[in-house]
Amino acid sequence: MSSSVKGMRDLLGDELRWFQRIEEAVHRVFGAHGYREIRTPILEYTEVFKRSVGDSSDIVNKEMYEFLDKGNRSVTMRPENTAGVVRAMVDHKLLVNNDPQLFYYMGPMFRYERMQAGRYRQFWQIGAESFGVASPESEAESLVMLFDFLQGLGLKSLSLSLNSVGTPESRPAFNAAFRAFFDARANHFCEDCHRRIETNPMRILDCKNPGCQAALEGHPTIVEFLDEASKAHHTRLKELLTALDIPFTENPRLVRGLDYYTRTAFEVLSSDLGAQSALLGGGRYDGLVKMLGGPDTAAFGWAIGLDRLAMVLKQLQGDAPFDPPALLIPLGEKASAEAIRLAREWWGKGLSIQLETRGCPLKKALQSANRTGVKLALILGEGELEKGTVAVKHLDTGEQEEWSLEETALNLGGKGTRS
RNA sequence: GCGGCUGUAGCUCAGUUGGUUAGAGUGCUGGAUUGUGAUUCCAGAUGUCGUGGGUUCAAGUCCCAUCAGCCGCCCCA
């Protein structure tokens, strides 16, 4: 019966309330860390993604919303936002003098995929990217921000899965060793892995096939073939995380699906997401800026699935807290004129007031109020008008009392509400 | 891209081996005298049976196609 485009949904009600709550925390926490927001276009030239995400990745191969515009240029609705942010850094020449540049973003991404629990064709991501700093300290800082953000939302037991995927320089050594390991037991690996050994051997490590996982027992790890600098980097990051009380587990088989990562790679999974267990992922991508035409710049970043985060929070905490405005119900012509004036005065003081403007009988007004979740009805009739009061009905308990106008402003004051 | 399940009132669903006018609960609308909801009582309305074909005297029920949703694979957020 749905008539929205497949995989794209309307956000409203409780789900939207969780989104808003998360977004508010993003601005507050990330802003406090000195990250600034960036909003890049939803549409980029297809080339931007092909060059950054990688031609061999599934995203580019089969998941992009890609089409020709009227000028016959190939454009793509962003499947992720790191590429767009890097493109913006390059365009605005923000990286020319090597100052650190810290940015965060939030917004819809698009991937043409088969739908499933926690997976949509239009989904939202929150991400943070830091440019111009190569140190493990910058990664620790970014991860602290991430964990403070998530813990602030009430997620306590998170497991960070950590690995180093090395550098383009260190990878040949690993690939050679891994190839020898693979060839010695090649018949135990699946068809896909035989393809991967030619295109991207690392990706065999996270093949989901149980047979392949078993065959990987005792495999050479990327970490043991790291160059000295990368090895020191990896060790230092682990020391920092330990000192900062950020729990992590080393996962030598963790490899990310995007081609641009170097050195640090990580993921956080959640058991509350069904098969779509990845809540967030990220890592270092020191080569990407140069690849997109900018100066050789170190970079580190990650992205969280907002839809999935909201889903986890709902599972853990139920409905998002909601404080609906009080409903002001005037009775009669005289009262309804006064109600608008009075509400305006209260709005000016920052109160949250919804006006019943239908001029309907009180019974009907209360029925609607009850249905729409109003908690407090302020009834303004002839009698109240003369006395300068309102009849205040608490819809959850049924109790009713009478407040002066001053009392009302005082009692409702400062309560921030949103739908 | 591949596989499994599902689609009947706003919502949750029932509907026999095909058989006459398609049902329940909830919700909705109106009423139980004036300015009091949610609870109670009375009355009422509700449907392209996802869509399009086919088989049949007869299809919500069987067949095919298609669309959508859920779940899984791949991959990811």
- Cα A51 to Cα A114, A125, A199, distances in angstroms: 24, 21, 16
CA of A115 to C1' of B3 (A): 14
For residue A380, which nucleotide's C1' is closest to its Cα?
Answer: B35
Distance CA A82, CA A205 (A): 24
CA of A314 to C1' of B36 (A): 35
CA end-to-end span of chain A: 26
At A155-171, the pLDDT tens digits run 887 879 999 999 988 99
Complex confidence, ipTM: 0.84
Q: What is the CA radius of gyration of chain A?
A: 27
For residue A2, which nucleotide's C1' is closest to its Cα?
Answer: B68
- Among residues A51, A45, A65, A68, the alpha carbon closest in space to that of A109 is found at A65
Amino acid type, A318: G
Return the CATH class of domain A13-170+226-317: alpha beta
CA of A78 to C1' of B1 (A): 21
Distance CA A302, CA A287 (A): 16
For residue A400, which nucleotide's C1' is closest to its Cα?
Answer: B36
CA of A189 to C1' of B37 (A): 67
Portions of chain A given CATH number 3.30.930.10: 13-170+226-317
Portions of chain A given CATH number 3.40.50.800: 326-412
CA of A100 to C1' of B19 (A): 78
For residue A192, which nucleotide's C1' is closest to its Cα?
Answer: B74
Q: Which nucleotides of B are covered by protein (CB under 7 A)?
A: 1-3, 8, 11, 27-30, 35-38, 50, 67-77
Res A418: pLDDT: 39
Give me the residues paired with residue A163 across strands: A265
Q: How far is CA A56 from the centre of its chain?
A: 25
Mean pLDDT on A345-365: 93
Looking at domain A326-412, what is its CATH homologous superfamily? Anticodon-binding domain (3.40.50.800)
Give the other-Cβ count within 10 Å of A347's Cβ: 13
At A80-123, the pLDDT tens digits run 999 999 999 999 999 998 899 999 999 999 999 888 878 899 99
Per-residue confidence at A195, pLDDT binned at 50, 70, 90? confident
